[in-house]
């Protein structure tokens, strides 16, 4: 079973690239972020023609998350399932695919440490942890994947000195991510690759992709039963090349068995 995540930065602008990539890589499950579509505008038929069921939680213009699956898509829950008023922004969707409870997340960017949006980011991360802990056990097969807008470690940053005082690396947001991992999840790519310079996002400007200036902020977190099945993981940086790419590359994880 091949599971992938990709922040597509507008599915309307990217649907051709996504179709091409699906045909090439053949994931069983693809979690997408930043579809920037209303549910009405989501191209479900396009994905159905490629053999995928889909679930989308969108708001139009901004945000928007989706899950595509060839291996079943059950018990779909849009937004948080914690009994509190729903988050105003469309940033997570959860479904069960072949026995794995999978959440596609688009964590708030934060903008800057002194911005209201950064407080929203931290509160959102705490709520995500609560959502996961209250709806699943670390002994279950659980994946939380997407654009976390957090670089877990300085290895995941092209130049840590340029990120001092910035979002994506602050101790508070890294602590939130660590707390989710402490609950029982592992950053799967790091089970297979220890080295630095593995990035999943590069700014469109200044030739950052070509110059190797990126961040690893798109993560696949999984509980131990999923990690035990994992056989391979890679960031597909080829998908960042060519005409009209997203500014993010997909991250792929392969699992043994169904």
Partner DNA sequence: ATGGTCGTTGCACGA
**Catalytic residue list:** 106, 147
Nearer to DNA, 62 or 183 (CB): 62
Q: How far is the CB of 154 from DNA (least distance, A)?
A: 19
Decide: helix, strand or coil at residue 87: coil
CA–CA separation, 105 and 34 (whole Å) = 10
CA–CA separation, 112 and 116 (whole Å) = 8
Q: How far is the CB of 9 from DNA (least distance, A)?
A: 6
Residues 6 or more apart whose Cβ sits within 8 Å of residue 239? 6, 17, 21, 245, 246, 249, 250
CA–CA separation, 163 and 249 (whole Å) = 21
Backbone torsions φ then ψ of 215, nearest 5 degrees: -135, 150
Which residue has 């490629």 as its token pair? 50
Nearer to DNA, 8 or 255 (CB): 8
Q: What is the DSSP letter of 139?
A: T
Q: Interface residues with DNA (CB under 7 A)?
A: 9-10, 12-14, 36, 60-61, 108-109, 111, 117, 203-207, 244
Nearer to DNA, 36 or 101 (CB): 36
Q: How far is the CB of 146 from DNA (least distance, A)?
A: 12
Backbone torsions φ then ψ of 243, nearest 5 degrees: -85, 130
Closest CA to 3 of 248, 227, 237, 155: 227
Q: How far is the CB of 35 from DNA (least distance, A)?
A: 9
Nearer to DNA, 18 or 95 (CB): 18
Q: How far is the CB of 213 from DNA (least distance, A)?
A: 9
Backbone torsions φ then ψ of 74, nearest 5 degrees: -125, 160
Closest CA to 203 of 92, 109, 106: 109
DSSP alpha helices (H): ranges in 68-170?
116-135
């Amino acid at each position: 079973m091949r599971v992938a995540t990709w922040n597509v930065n507008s599915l309307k602008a990217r649907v051709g690239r996504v179709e091409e990539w699906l045909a090439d890589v053949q994931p069983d499950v693809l979690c997408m972020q930043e579809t920037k579509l209303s549910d009405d505008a989501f191209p479900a038929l396009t994905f159905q023609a490629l053999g995928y069921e889909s679930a989308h939680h969108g708001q139009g213009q901004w945000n928007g998350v989706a899950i595509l699956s060839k291996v079943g898509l059950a018990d779909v829950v849009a937004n948080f399932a914690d009994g509190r008023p729903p988050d105003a922004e469309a940033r997570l969707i959860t479904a069960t695919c072949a026995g794995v409870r999978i959440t596609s997340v688009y964590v708030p960017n934060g903008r800057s440490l002194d911005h209201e949006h950064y407080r929203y980011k931290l509160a959102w991360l705490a709520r995500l942890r609560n959502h996961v802990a209250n709806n699943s056990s670390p002994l279950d097969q659980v994946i939380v994947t997407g654009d976390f807008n957090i670089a877990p470690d300085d290895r995941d940053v092209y130049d840590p000195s340029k990120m001092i005082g910035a979002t994506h690396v602050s101790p508070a947001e890294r602590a939130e991510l660590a707390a989710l991992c402490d609950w029982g999840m592992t950053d799967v790519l790091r089970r297979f690759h220890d080295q630095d310079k593995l990035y999943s996002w590069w700014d469109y400007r200044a030739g950052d992709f070509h110059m190797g200036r990126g961040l690893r902020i798109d993560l696949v977190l999984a509980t131990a039963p999923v990690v035990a099945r994992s056989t391979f993981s890679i960031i597909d940086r080829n998908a960042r090349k060519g005409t009209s790419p997203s500014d993010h590359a997909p991250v792929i994880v392969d699992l043994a068995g169904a």
